[in-house]
Amino acid sequence: MKSLAGLVVVLLVAMSGFGQAAKPCEELKAEIAKKIEANKVTSYSLEIVPTKDVKEGEGKVVGSCEGGTKKIVYRRTSDAPAKPAADMKKSE
């Protein structure tokens, strides 16, 4: 019984630490961008938005930062990557 009580105490202490360790938005945004680019996605945007300004249907919330006061919103873009200048000269 003591070991069960000890386990519960350890879990509660560990869980309380997660809520207090709010990650800075720019740091989280960089981590998310790295994961997206690792999946070979090139046309996207990540935007840091105050939680109250997040609108349903205008992107997907992929992260929460600064203690839940801000969200990181992912949007796909249709912008094709720009051609390098050398390629443009060849086509002229």
> What total number of domains does the chain contain?
1
pLDDT at position 29: 95
Q: Which helix (H) or strand (E) is 87 found in, with range?
A: helix 85-91
Using 50, 70 and 90 to split pLDDT, how confident is the model at 87?
very low
Q: Which helix (H) or strand (E) is 34 found in, with range?
A: helix 25-38
pLDDT at position 59: 92
Does 39 map to a domain? Answer: yes
Does 84 map to a domain? Answer: no
Quote the domain boundaries for residue 32: 22-79
Does 34 map to a domain? Answer: yes
Does 48 map to a domain? Answer: yes
Average pLDDT over residues 11-28: 66
pLDDT at position 50: 96
Mean pLDDT of the chain: 76
Does 17 map to a domain? Answer: no
Q: Hey, what are 27's tokens?
A: 């740091």
pLDDT at position 43: 93
